[in-house]
Structure 1
Amino acid sequence: MDCIDIYKQPAFNHPALRNHIIQIAPSSVMTMKPEAAITKEKCSMIHTHQLWRKNGSCPIGTIPVRRNCQTDVLDCNLAAKYGRKNRPSIQYELKTSNYLQANHAFAIMMTEGFNYHGAKADIKVWNPYVEHDDEYSTSRIILENGAYNNYECVESGWMVNPSVYGDRETRIYAYWTVDGSSTTGCFDLMCPGFVQTSNEIALGGVIKSIPVPGGLPWIMTLHIVRDPISKNWWLRYQGNISIGYWPAELFKALRSTVEVIQWGGEIYSTRLGHPGHTKTEMGSGDLPLVIQPNSTGWFKRMRIQENSMDLKQPESAYTYSDDHRCYPIYLRKDQYAEPEFYYGGPGKDWHSLLCAY
């Protein structure tokens, strides 16, 4: 990690941000209601650690930036595409979402509307097996608007992505695009766009769990919310850390609202859906069994924000898996408790009876 001046970060090389005035913190009107905050007791049980912090932290006025080796760029097919998702060929359109894509497998819960201004969730963190270097496994929140083949989106979560990071460690990441990953957007700070404000959290940094006696499993809490004054999209971590934001100047449709919110897992592989199916895991690699769901990937406390700053459960949401034999889903509903979304699987494996490619 390098500590660089906050005013000299890569974001300001973007043509739309040449005259951008950095917003150091979210507007005061974004003060979260009690439901959105994590209590002190909860914080002690939801704790992750970035390995680079073992050697200290960046001084105030600077931000941590992951150093990209020259070989990272040279290993890519084209340097111009470094850090960007592979643009898939669309198989067919379903409503306004960007899924149903070739070489992608989704296991998601989603909601659609016209007045969304934020989303939040607790996400179980794992280190799934990724079979090939050109594949990745991620669990994330996506906020999206626009045509299915030319959408704008911001997203964040955790991922294992050897082609981007050069290893199979679990890392926190952020991503954006304004044209369905055709020519714009990238992970983390690998291209101009995302403005980082935190000197504590490094996007693309390896995350590990810190054992807490009697605590919950390894959990990440993420909140993406639009600042009602600046219109910037803020990324908040573990309830009270503002990592930074995607500036409003980057977008057109997302300047005003979000139409689609997704929570769930995604696999990228050219070996999906046919003989020779990848063994890359989603979530923990375990199937979401009704009798033991907590051993798999999950999202809990899913929340949306509309015109107010109040966080609430989505009134209408549905689940979807386009590779349900390999990466099934399970939505647990109870009249006395809020919904919990479980997902994932081992891909093609000897003990997976569902994935029979």
Structure 2
Amino acid sequence: MKHIRKSEDGDIIDCVEIYKQPSLNHPALKNHTIQLAPTFFSKTRKVFDDAKKEDIAMTITSQRWQKSGSCPKGTVPIRRTQKRNPNKDDFHAYGRKTASNMKNEVGDLKYTTNSTNSIANHSVALIETVGYSYSGAKVDIKVWTPYVEKEDEYSTSHVAIQNGGLHDFELVETGWAADGSKRTGCFDLTCPGFVQVNHEIALGGAIYPISNPNGLPYQITVYIFKDPTTKNWWVNYGESINIGYWPGELFMLLKYQGIMVKWGGEVYSSKVKTHPGHTATGMGSGNTPPSIFENCGTMKRMRVEQNSQPLMIPEWSTTVVDEYRCYGALYEVDYIPDPIFYYGGPGRSPWCP
């Protein structure tokens, strides 16, 4: 029996049998056997033992659609595609996929396989670390709803693990996204490849509550890690839910390890790096750092996993900003026990015409 859940924000969630999810239509997964749980997930991966409780914001654990019920075990919740959102045939126009750029969006999750990736329509403010072989990365990301000017634009905050060069690389990524329909949440499972096993989280459903400049801070904790046995790249949410994974069969380079980890924000628009006429789509909260009371994009407890070792603070990182007049970045490292990354901005402004 098919179960349907309707969210108060208009989303329709279908509870689909796990073995019938559309992601398995990917040609590389023709003979794939679903892995229902990671083969290894220890306490050192599950919690941040070195973090002080008072430094941790309130973690988001809910989605709006869950108010109408839940999906039964053995199924996965899939957000039904609406016309206002891109489907698998619209990704070229939405800046996701071209004939030479197979960059798939799955929920708040992205992966790129065998791609030649153009960044002409993307503007970023991030930090990155290199120098080791990376098998995992984790972060707390404060959740905002930045202004998004047009329906074919988006703003994301994420952590990513990459292998490959500047123009030809593979990438797995997770975080939150705000799109042109003015909601915070994520994209969905219309693109094949990511295998979901959890029945609680709908990739594409709006998350709540969100941070407010005059209210409480809210965040999500996300973690990508490679299963050392199956070589699948798992996504963990809230330090307790393993949502699913990208199968190792999808990759050539990431099948072994990542060589770079990135944390930060990204804006997609055909009007980035264009002056005058820059997009007004915001990054982070839409405020440029430094911002009082952390009212800009904020990431804390950034960790990397090197060669399946326990999570650790990256030894060194560098800041990358495409358009410093439009979106900014501030990486605080000195005189604090745990680095904090502030980023974001309004896009078009008197300084970014």
Q: TM-score range by the shorter chain?
A: 0.7 to 0.9
The letter for the 1-side match of 2:22 is P
1:99 Cα shift? Answer: 8.7
Q: Does 2:289 match 1:288?
A: yes
Match in the other structure for 1:113: 131
Match in the other structure for 1:171: 185
Say if 1:37 and 1:240, in contact at 8 Å, map to a contact too.
Answer: no
The letter for the 2-side match of 1:152 is E
Structure with the bigger percentage of strand: 2
The letter for the 2-side match of 1:170 is T
1:199 Cα shift? Answer: 0.5
Q: Does 2:78 match 1:53?
A: no
Give distance in 2, aligned partners of 1:102 and 1:220. Answer: 29
1:81 Cα shift? Answer: 4.1
Match in the other structure for 1:277: 278
Which of the residues 9, 14, 23 maps onto 2:21?
9
Give distance in 1, aligned partners of 2:142 and 2:62. Answer: 14
Q: Look up the SS of the partner of 1:270 in the other structure.
A: coil
Q: Which runs of 5 or more structure 1 residues have no equivalent in the other structure?
A: 91-97, 174-187
Q: Look up the SS of the partner of 1:54 in the other structure.
A: helix
1:316 Cα shift? Answer: 1.6
Match in the other structure for 1:23: 35
Match in the other structure for 2:167: 149
Change (3 A) 1:41 1:356: closer
Q: Look up the SS of the partner of 1:334 in the other structure.
A: coil
Between 43-52 and 242-251, report the one with greater CA deviation.
Answer: 43-52
Change (3 A) 1:132 1:86: farther
Say if 2:95 and 2:268, in contact at 8 Å, map to a contact too.
Answer: no
Give distance in 1, aligned partners of 2:153 and 2:91. Answer: 19
Q: Which runs of 5 or more structure 2 residues have no equivalent in the other structure?
A: 1-12, 102-115
Change (3 A) 1:286 1:82: closer
| 1:325-344 per-position Cα deviation (integer Å, ceiling 9, x unaligned) | 11011111233412100000
Report the TM-score, using the length of structure 2 for normalisation.
0.83
Structure with the bigger percentage of helix: 1
| 1:43-84 per-position Cα deviation (integer Å, ceiling 9, x unaligned) | 99313420110101000110100111467568x9x5574876
Q: Does 2:154 match 1:139?
A: no
Report the TM-score, using the length of structure 1 for normalisation.
0.82
Say if 2:128 and 2:260, in contact at 8 Å, map to a contact too.
Answer: yes
Change (3 A) 1:279 1:72: closer
Change (3 A) 1:70 1:328: closer
Q: Look up the SS of the partner of 1:12 in the other structure.
A: helix
The letter for the 2-side match of 1:277 is H
Give distance in 1, aligned partners of 2:58 and 2:182. Answer: 25
Give distance in 1, aligned partners of 2:311 and 2:85. Answer: 40
The letter for the 1-side match of 2:156 is T
Match in the other structure for 1:247: 247
The letter for the 2-side match of 1:59 is P
1:87 Cα shift? Answer: 5.6
Identity of aligned residues (%): 45
Give distance in 2, aligned partners of 1:6 and 1:120. Answer: 26
Change (3 A) 1:131 1:80: closer
Written as runs of structure 1 = structure 2, the 5 A alignment for 1:327-342 is: 327-342=327-342
Give distance in 1, aligned partners of 2:91 and 2:280. Answer: 29
1:217 Cα shift? Answer: 1.0
Q: Does 2:263 match 1:263?
A: yes
Give distance in 2, aligned partners of 1:207 and 1:126. Answer: 10
Say if 1:123 and 1:219, in contact at 8 Å, map to a contact too.
Answer: yes
1:147 Cα shift? Answer: 2.9
Match in the other structure for 1:297: 297
Give distance in 1, aligned partners of 2:286 and 2:99. Answer: 24
Give distance in 1, aligned partners of 2:307 and 2:91. Answer: 38
The letter for the 2-side match of 1:312 is M
Q: Does 2:114 match 1:101?
A: no
1:32 Cα shift? Answer: 3.1
Change (3 A) 1:275 1:86: farther
Give distance in 1, aligned partners of 2:244 and 2:157. Answer: 20
Q: Look up the SS of the partner of 2:182 in the other structure.
A: coil
RMSD: 3.0
